[in-house]
Amino acid sequence: MEADFVIVGAGSAGCAMAYRLSEAGASVIVIEHGGTDVGPFIQMPAALSYPMNMSLYDWGYMSEPEPHLNNRELVCPRGKVIGGSSSINGMVYVRGHAHDFDHWRDQGADGWGYADVLPYYKRMESWHDGGHGGDPSWRGTDGPLHVTRGPRNNPLHAAFVEAGRQAGYPVTQDYNGEQQEGFGPMEQTVYKGRRWSAANAYLRPALECENCELIRGLACKVVIENGRATGVEIKRGGKVEVISARREVILSASSLNSPKLLMLSGIGPAQHLAEHGIEVVADRPGVGQNLQDHLEVYFQMAASQPITLYKYWPLVRKAMVGAQWLFTKTGLGASNQFESAAFIRSREGIDYPDIQYHFLPLAVRYDGKAAAEGHGFQAHVGPMRSESRGNVTLRSADPKDAPVIRFNYMSEESDWRDFRQCLRLTREIFGQEAFKPFVKHEIQPGKDLVTDDELNGFIREHAESAYHPCGTCRMGRADDPMAVVDPQARVIGVEGLRVADSSVFPRITNGNLNGPSIMVGEKVSDAVLGRGPLPSDNAAPWINPNWQSSQR
């Protein structure tokens, strides 16, 4: 079993790379531990809370007890299925802010500024604005990844945007275009009523080529001979086999599993590897460090009118929505229901947004476990650029063991200040005139929680991961001791080995990470093929002219 390129992980970046490398005529083998993504729970957008809680599709990882969050262990879903986490995520599509990528560049990821990544976003997208506005010159029109907008039929979606406007914030027609800051429509990776995962967009077309093959198995380690990666050892059907790579091995196994695989292969902090009896191939202290995520709370309001999605909560109604979707791919089942969004700045002196809102016309937990007291609606809200950093380490030298995941959430004082500000700004938005016809009362946090201490207590008990882990194999210059890969995504200190997924992010981007992860796969594939990068695009993003003196 051998190919030019062996890719570990059929997730967001891995699928994109399989497509681009096989399209160029190279032979590719993709190794994926998970199984098929066929079935209504994955393909039906409104069923998104199911697959991320099914052991069939999810690795089932948990964080270690988080010391600043009442020692809670937080769930950390990662896709164990064709399409990876793009098959179990909320399908929200956000590119990230232009300044996120300029920050990457300035931190040593040369060639990854906004001008460098914008052409790849355009190459990968097929954008459908649905008549909702936006500037097509910022968007792609013929890429594999279809990006659409929900119908926004529920009056609460318009109320959310109008409330933002009344509170003094800008309105934006396209947060993925020139202006991220403001309130407006949310975008989703949904096409013709189906989840448009990386598997549907990239892997299926790639597998139609005879030079691309998918192998089911658990990757155990990268085989390294004389300092060069030559293949991947996998376990399948109880047997251990080696899949050989003639040219390169590429790890796209997620920000949790890519560092784990590097460490199992002898690449990582030497002392940590020695503790587990693993021979050191390359002492890279940054492997598994720099772990970042977005933390959020659900700010919930009870509704005074029965117009929310709660009316579809009873099983019979859910079945009707499901049946309509199954036969026609239309109706409520055809959207993730996140159809309005906002990006705002928490205070003056910050030049681009650091708070994100997902608005949902239903008060419910993300995992679908509990709907709040009848009709309600909610905004998922949290700070975008927490200063807290965690790490991923090995539990043992056994590839079957889950890694040890320590996010170390809320370990910086600035995180508490920023999170309290999120809650207070949200309360103000829900208090605007536009919501008056719809608001009954605040469910959570609850209007009685107003002091810093009270809000801190609510955050400690109720903050949840937004499921955006990244940063554990940070990209940087080859002489940076904490960098794991160079700007071509090559693992520093080993030949023939790259990492391409969200673990290479130097710093977390604004918003959801599926878009940037696919972009990484697209851009790295050109580097792998020895092609020059696409010509840079110097379109200048909108920055609030009064950012130094005003919060909105």
Q: Answer whether 248's CB lies under 8 Å from 234's CB.
A: no
Q: Answer whether 182's CB lies under 8 Å from 343's CB.
A: yes
**How many residues belong to the chain?**
552
Both tokens of residue 171?
A: 């309105």
Angle ∠(179,145,524) on CA atoms, nearest 5: 85
Q: How far apart are CA 363 and CA 273, in angstroms?
A: 45
Alpha helices (H) in 253-366, listed in sequence order: 257-264, 270-275, 315-328
Beta bridge partners of 322: none
Per the annotation, the verdict on 103 as an active-site residue is: no
Residues 99, 146, 294, 468: which is the catalytic one?
A: 468
Q: How far apart are CA 166 and CA 163, in angstroms?
A: 5
Q: How far apart are CA 361 and CA 308, in angstroms?
A: 5
3-state secondary structure 199-232: HHHHHHHHHCCCCEEEEECEEEEEEEECCEEEEE
81 assigned binding-site residue: yes
Q: How far apart are CA 348 and CA 326, in angstroms?
A: 48
Measured CA distances, 152 to 112, 130, 184, 207 (Å): 34, 11, 11, 35
CA 198 to chain centre: 12
91 assigned binding-site residue: yes
CA 529 to chain centre: 26
Which helix (H) or strand (E) segment holds residue 60: the answer is none
Q: Answer whether 302's CB lies under 8 Å from 376's CB.
A: yes
**26 DSSP assignment:** -
193 assigned binding-site residue: no
508: three-class secondary structure by DSSP: coil
Q: Answer whether 301's CB lies under 8 Å from 363's CB.
A: yes
Both tokens of residue 289?
A: 């460090």
Q: How far apart are CA 101 and CA 385, in angstroms?
A: 13
Dihedral (CA of 45, 49, 53, 58) sign: positive
Q: How far apart are CA 388 and CA 465, in angstroms?
A: 13
Q: How far apart are CA 158 and CA 373, in angstroms?
A: 23
Output phi, psi for 542, to 5 deg: -75, 130
475 assigned binding-site residue: no
Measured CA distances, 364 to 26, 273, 376, 378 (Å): 46, 42, 8, 8
Type of residue at 187: E
The HSE-up count of residue 394 (CA atoms within 13 Å, CB side) is 28
Q: Answer whether 494's CB lies under 8 Å from 486's CB.
A: no
DSSP conformation letters of 459-485: HHHH-EE-S--B-TT-B--TT-TT-SB
User: Which residues define the annotated binding site?
Assistant: 81, 89-92
Please list the active-site residues: 468
User: Which residues define the annotated binding site for FAD?
Assistant: 81, 89-92
